[in-house]
Amino acid sequence: MASRTAFSGMPQFRLDGRVALVTGAGRGLGAATAVALAEAGAEVVLLSRSLEELNIVATRIDASGGRARTVVCDVNDTAHVRLELARLPTLDILVNNAGMNIPEAFVDVCEDHLDQLLRLDVRSAFLVAQSAVRKMLEDPDRQARGASVINISSQMGHVGAVNRTVYCMCKHAIEGLTKAMAVELAPKNIRVNSVAPTFLETPMTASFLASKQFREWVTKMIPLGRLGNTYEVAAAIVFLASPAAALINGTSLLVDGGWTAH
Give tens-digit pLDDT for 178-207: 999 999 999 999 999 999 999 998 887 888
Residues 6+ apart with CB under 8 A from 49: 26, 72, 73, 74
Q: What is the spatial order of strands in the sheet that 252-255 belongs to?
A: 67-72, 43-48, 19-23, 93-96, 147-152, 190-197, 252-255
pLDDT at 19 over 60: yes
Average pLDDT of the segment spanning 235-251:
97
Closest to 137 measured CA to CA, from 95, 96, 187: 187
Rounded to an integer, what distance in angstroms lies between the CA atom of residue 1 and that of residue 71? Answer: 53
pLDDT at 254 over 80: yes
Q: Which domains occur in the chain, in start order?
A: 19-254 (3.40.50.720)
Rounded to an integer, what distance in angstroms lies between the CA atom of residue 155 and that of residue 260? Answer: 7
Mapped onto helix, strand or coil, the DSSP state of residue 256 is: coil
Rounded to an integer, what distance in angstroms lies between the CA atom of residue 99 and that of residue 87? Answer: 24
**Other C-beta atoms lying within 10 Å of the C-beta of residue 210:** 9
**36 or 6: whose pLDDT is higher?**
36
Give the tens place of pLDDT for each residue, 24-75. 999 999 999 999 999 999 999 999 999 999 999 999 999 999 999 999 999 9
Rounded to an integer, what distance in angstroms lies between the CA atom of residue 211 and that of residue 111? Answer: 26
Average pLDDT of the segment spanning 156-167:
97
Rounded to an integer, what distance in angstroms lies between the CA atom of residue 26 and that of residue 258? Answer: 28
pLDDT at 149 over 70: yes
Position 229, amino acid: N
pLDDT at 99: 96
CB 138 within 8 A of CB 92: no
Does the annotation mark 167 as catalytic? yes
Rounded to an integer, what distance in angstroms lies between the CA atom of residue 42 and that of residue 50? Answer: 22
CA-to-CA separations, 241 to 13, 21, 85, in angstroms, rounded: 9, 11, 19
Catalytic residue among 19, 92, 167, 199: 167
Give the tens place of pLDDT for each residue, 205-229. 888 889 999 999 999 999 999 999 9
Rounded to an integer, what distance in angstroms lies between the CA atom of residue 10 and that of residue 196? Answer: 25
pLDDT at 170 over 50: yes
**Other C-beta atoms lying within 10 Å of the C-beta of residue 217:** 11
pLDDT at 9 over 90: no
**pLDDT confidence of 4, banded at 50, 70, 90?**
very low
pLDDT at 8: 56
This prediction's pTM: 0.94
pLDDT at 108 over 80: yes
Average pLDDT of the segment spanning 80-103:
97
pLDDT at 163 over 90: yes
Rounded to an integer, what distance in angstroms lies between the CA atom of residue 34 and that of residue 22? Answer: 6
CA-to-CA separations, 70 to 65, 78, 120, 170, 241, in angstroms, rounded: 16, 18, 20, 27, 20
Average pLDDT of the segment spanning 144-158:
97
